[in-house]
């Protein structure tokens, strides 16, 4: 997945407040999409009316974060739904991806 068409973010006030309980700022969530490596997979189980995705990545402070999101406005806006620190399993998946990416680039 590429984010070539993305020009910004579309924040929902209710989701923003919900995410504050995970002590993740809006800025940190946006940083995940600017940093590499970034792992993005489609969420087939919860995608009833629109495509939903999961992103695993790093904030500028190197926090490992999980962002569930959709794309809005013809793919030009990322709409975060849920932001939280990665679970143990997600960290393992992310670290394995990083190892494979590093090995492929060496």
Q: What is the pLDDT of residue 106?
A: 64
What tokens were used for 53?
């995705």
Collapsing DSSP to helix, strand or coil, 84 comes out as: strand
Q: What mean pLDDT is predicted for residues 81-99?
A: 96
Mean pLDDT across the chain = 91
Q: What is the pLDDT of residue 104?
A: 80
Helix segments in the chain, DSSP class H: 13-20, 26-32, 88-105
The more confident residue out of 75 and 19 is 75
Look up the pTM and report it: 0.90
Beta-carbon neighbour count of residue 5 at 10 Å?
A: 11
Confidence grade of residue 60 (pLDDT, cut at 50, 70, 90)? very high
Collapsing DSSP to helix, strand or coil, 18 comes out as: helix
Share of the chain above pLDDT 70, in %: 98
Beta-carbon neighbour count of residue 76 at 10 Å?
A: 13
CA distance readout (Å), 101 to 33, 38, 59, 67 = 17, 11, 19, 21
Cα distance between residue 61 and residue 8, in whole Å: 21
Quick: pLDDT tens for 3-42: 889 999 999 888 878 888 889 999 999 999 999 999 999 9
């Amino acid at each position: 997945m590429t984010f070539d068409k993305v020009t910004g973010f579309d924040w929902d006030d209710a989701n923003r407040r919900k995410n504050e309980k995970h002590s993740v700022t809006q800025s940190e969530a946006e940083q995940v999409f600017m940093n590499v490596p970034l792992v993005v997979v489609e969420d087939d189980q919860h995608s009833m009316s629109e495509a939903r995705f999961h992103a695993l990545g790093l904030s500028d402070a190197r926090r490992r974060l999980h962002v569930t999101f959709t794309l809005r406005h013809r793919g030009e806006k990322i709409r975060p739904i849920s932001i939280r620190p990665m679970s143990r399993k997600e960290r393992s998946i992310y670290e394995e991806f990083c190892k494979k990416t590093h090995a492929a680039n060496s």
